[in-house]
A = this chain, B = another copy of it.
């Protein structure tokens, strides 16, 4: 079963980096569509009975469909897995923290074996169809979610209003029901202080910036999630091309600044990268926050050729492998914060020394 595999390995599709467009700066692209069943109460109003009906309708649409992309998904309801496994799914960006909080039998997840396609069932909306791919692949993500959307629509009636578009549980999603986002790694813009300046003004462009785990999370490890704020009055295509254009500008600025750092502050940069690598490969205790900050420096060093033989894919995996649920899943028991700091340090050391090789 796809989900069992996803729960027991670190790797999911968005962590790939080789041969992926802009993967040194754009970690991943993501599109999700919010869809609701017509004439069924929104999920926050569901009780067990109406929830089961909603789930049943979705399940039937899945079973009836001939679309390969839908048939290859597994379906799992949250009464079948424990809290820790749901947290694992959050840490891999396959479900939301909010969705993970429930063990209701009418809530769940449909997912493919690589984790690139994931559909939350009865989260904030009846369906949240997500495609998550590595690098700059927003249009590919959009194509995939639209295909799934179409496949469901063969059977299901979605709540739709001719004037307002798709109706959603939260008014901020009404219209396209689409959220498109890019996860960006911007160490040079952060170090120089320019990231704050850029992102201050981004809301005027209908965009918003969040941290590694979306809404309400801090931008740790110089990771920034850039997404559309507006869902109404623009087509999906316009939203996506707008987001891509802004992303490309940011990527260009990050590249320029990296080149400047390398030429003007060579020793300081090598020092920063070297120290990060030295601490990560020798610490015995490390918090998640510090680890992400140091992994950001190591990643910059790998991108700049200061550290050789470190795979970006491995660094992407580490970002997830050092989270609390993944650490506890690996060890097979609950751990307090200090125990996790010990285990986290061990996981990082092992991974970095396996790929190896600082080049002074």
Q: How far is the CB of A351 from chain B (nearest CB, A)?
A: 14
Which applies to chain A's interface (DSSP): helix, strand, loop or mixed? helix
Q: Which B residue's beta carbon lies closest to that of A280?
A: B278
**A342 contact set on B, CB distance < 8 A:** 267
Interface residues on A, range: 20 to 34
Whether B281 contacts A267 by the Cβ 8 Å rule is: no
Whether A349 sits at the interface, judged by CB under 8 Å, is yes
**A280 contact set on B, CB distance < 8 A:** 278
Whether A282 sits at the interface, judged by CB under 8 Å, is yes
**A279 contact set on B, CB distance < 8 A:** 275, 278-279
1/0 contact string of A341-360 vs chain B (CB within 8 Å): 01001100100000000101
Whether A277 sits at the interface, judged by CB under 8 Å, is yes
Cross-interface CB contact of A285 among B268, B338, B345, cutoff 8 Å: B268
Cross-interface CB contact of A345 among B271, B282, B346, B349, cutoff 8 Å: B271
Whether B271 contacts A275 by the Cβ 8 Å rule is: no
Q: Cα distance A360–B286 when bound, in Å? A: 14
Whether A274 sits at the interface, judged by CB under 8 Å, is yes
Q: Cα distance A125–B6 when bound, in Å? A: 79
Whether B282 contacts A267 by the Cβ 8 Å rule is: no
Whether A330 sits at the interface, judged by CB under 8 Å, is no
**A282 contact set on B, CB distance < 8 A:** 274-275, 277-278, 358, 360
> Can you list 23 A-B pairs with a CB-CB distance of less than 8 A?
A267-B284, A267-B285, A268-B285, A271-B283, A271-B284, A271-B286, A271-B345, A274-B282, A274-B283, A274-B284, A275-B278, A275-B282, A275-B283, A277-B278, A277-B282, A278-B278, A278-B279, A278-B281, A278-B282, A278-B283, A282-B358, A284-B360, A346-B360
